[in-house]
A and B are shown apart, each in its own frame.
Chain A
Amino acid sequence: MIPLVTAAGLTKKYGDLVAVAGIAFEIHEGECFGFLGPNGAGKTTTVRMIHCVSPVTSGTLTVGGLPAGIDNRALKMMTGVIPQEINLDNDLTVQENLVVFARFFDIGRKEARARIAELLRFVELEAKSGSKISELSTGMKRRLLIARALINRPRLIVADEPTTGLDPQARHLIWQRLRQLKSQGTTLVLTTQYMEEAQQLCDRIVVMYQGKILKEGIPAKLVEDEIGREVVEIRIPPEEDGKVLAELSAFPCTHERVGDTLYFYCRDGHALMRKLIELDLPNTLNRPATLEDVFLKLTGRSLHE
């Protein structure tokens, strides 16, 4: 596989604050690559460097073989950005937002008209082309951001938390559209805090924390390697831990106490579960392990503020 984006020792500092601390990764052409991490982990800063709006402090970062940099117009020409913050032009209509953006990319009037009609169909906003931005719902605004990001037929799409604040219907529509783009060969770079989103879309992910990459891999494999297949949760007071753990010491599971819950990470939780029923413990739950467990295990369960 050919890498489209390559980073080595990539570092970003704001004064004394180290936002990204010397990370390395490769994003292959045609894959969806996800950056996961809590707030302030450095995900957005990293993707902002990839799409050339934030200068690299040190290390190397290349996109399509070219060094990323704020004046690299060739890279901006081939990149589409779906920003975290809805920054549509509120003074302009839906159609005008796209017309103006087409100009920014040197797209001629006639080509732009055809492209805009096609994109509005793609994001199901044909009926809204004359509307003001203030008349759109959040879901529609997010879809328009996608259309805007596609105006230049990008080879690389950078989506920074593209479904924040959306209801399930709107979120699924956006996932479908992003998968559709990927199936057409577009490379996707995604940041997200939603583990389901990463599992739905990403071929490979990295988990970032405090500016560093903690783990890299295929979502399903990461879950299996880090957590196992199943999780058993027992909600009991911490004083009873000793007694319960003694009863369960024979099972090949790792455990962790967080707040009011005792977590067991197992390859197979059934045997443990049977024992728990035998012990007649209230409030027990056996469920498949998810990326969220990996995320919380790696980045800790306490609040990141």
Chain B
Amino acid sequence: MSLSYRIAYVFLRNLYSYKRFIVPTFLVSLVEPLFYLITFGVGMGAYMGSFGGKPYLHFLVPGVLVSAVMMSSSFECLYGTYIKIVHEKVYDSLIATPVSADEAVAGDIVWASFRGLVSGSLMMAVALAMGVAPASPFRLLLLLVFMIFIGVLFGSLAMIVTSIAPSFDFFSYYTELVVTPMLFFSGVFFPLERFPGWMKTLAEFLPLTHAVRISRAVFTGEPAAGLGWSFAGLIVLAAVVFTISIRMMRKRLIK
């Protein structure tokens, strides 16, 4: 792979472009958490009693934080990148400069992670306003760092899909058949313990399950079983999908 500091230039290009969309994207990123936290947390939470001695909202927030990061970074590397390749031809002009195709792709993944961080942070701000806070300020900081990592992971996964996408419609397979189901089977909304055995096994194969487990442990300060394995697994997965995504995109971009 040919990666260097030039990744930052690609990030900078995206930042310039972002200026025009900053208001609508902030609005979307704010409305989404309100939707989740109010409908599920407050509305449904009223019927659910307490989870480990706390209101349901406290169970919900750490999971929704990482799902927001997943959603944002995935969409950025699906639709955002596809537009830049096929419609806007940004990649064509980029790879004719000293910026390599690998750096262009890595730059977009880092950018997607940043977009994820923005969504996650806004979600966190809403949660804080609703009185749900991490166990300590240090843990809040840890969560932000973790969001950046989760953004790179899901951005890279989405980038693999984009590398073989013939058209926009193709993304529906990934969002409807992978991303959305993952949201419901990863212990974001309900504890996994209540699922039947086969579903629990299935859940262990979903990266979001592990991300939620880590997020919840960091948020509440309550240790959970297998945290180390979850973390190690995610790191290996992120390294693998990042590498594959760059290889596959290079195939799409260099002809």
The secondary structure that dominates the A interface is: loop
| CB contact between B98 and one of A54, A55, A76, A87 (< 8 Å): that residue | A76
Q: Which residues of B contact A54 (CB under 8 A)?
A: 254-255
**B92→A87 contact, CB < 8 A:** yes
Q: Is A29 an interface residue (CB 8 A)?
A: no
| Interface-located stretch among B5-13, B33-41, B167-175, B217-225 | B5-13
Q: Given A92-B16, A100-B12, A104-B9, are A71 and B100 also a contact pair (CB < 8 Å)?
A: yes
How far, in Å, is B15 (CB) from chain A's closest CB?
10
In the complex, A108→B96 CA distance in Å? 19
Q: Is B95 an interface residue (CB 8 A)?
A: yes
Q: Given A83-B93, A87-B92, A91-B88, are A104 and B16 also a contact pair (CB < 8 Å)?
A: no
Mask, A206-225, CB within 8 Å of B = 1, is 00000000000000000000
Nearest to B9 among chain A residues (CB) is: A103
**B98→A53 contact, CB < 8 A:** no
In the complex, A91→B18 CA distance in Å? 8
In the complex, A77→B16 CA distance in Å? 23
Q: Which residues of A contact B92 (CB under 8 A)?
A: 53, 83, 85, 87
**A89→B13 contact, CB < 8 A:** yes
How far, in Å, is A93 (CB) from chain B's closest CB?
9
Q: Given A54-B254, A89-B88, are A104 and B101 also a contact pair (CB < 8 Å)?
A: no
**A104→B88 contact, CB < 8 A:** no
Q: Given A51-B96, A85-B92, are A92 and B9 also a contact pair (CB < 8 Å)?
A: no
In the complex, A148→B94 CA distance in Å? 12
Mask, A53-76, CB within 8 Å of B = 1, is 111000000000000001101001
**A89→B99 contact, CB < 8 A:** no
- With most chain A CB atoms within 10 A of its CB, the pick from B16, B96, B254 is B96
Nearest to B4 among chain A residues (CB) is: A73
In the complex, A54→B255 CA distance in Å? 6
Q: Is B252 an interface residue (CB 8 A)?
A: no
- With most chain A CB atoms within 10 A of its CB, the pick from B12, B16, B93, B100 is B93
Mask, B187-201, CB within 8 Å of A = 1, is 000000000000000
Nearest to B102 among chain A residues (CB) is: A71
How far, in Å, is A38 (CB) from chain B's closest CB?
21
Interface pairs A-B: 3 shortest CB-CB = A91-B17, A87-B89, A104-B97
Known A-B contacts: A70-B101, A104-B99. Give 13 more (CB < 8 A): A77-B98, A81-B96, A83-B96, A87-B88, A89-B90, A91-B16, A91-B17, A92-B16, A101-B97, A103-B13, A104-B9, A104-B94, A105-B97
- Of the A-B pairs whose beta carbons lie under 8 Å apart in the complex, a sample of 20, sorted by A's number, is A70-B95, A70-B100, A70-B254, A71-B100, A76-B96, A85-B89, A85-B92, A87-B88, A87-B89, A89-B90, A89-B93, A91-B16, A91-B17, A91-B88, A100-B9, A100-B12, A100-B13, A104-B6, A104-B97, A104-B98
Using CB atoms and an 8 Å cutoff, list the residues of chain B in contact with chain A.
2, 6, 9, 12-13, 16-17, 20, 88-90, 92-101, 254-255
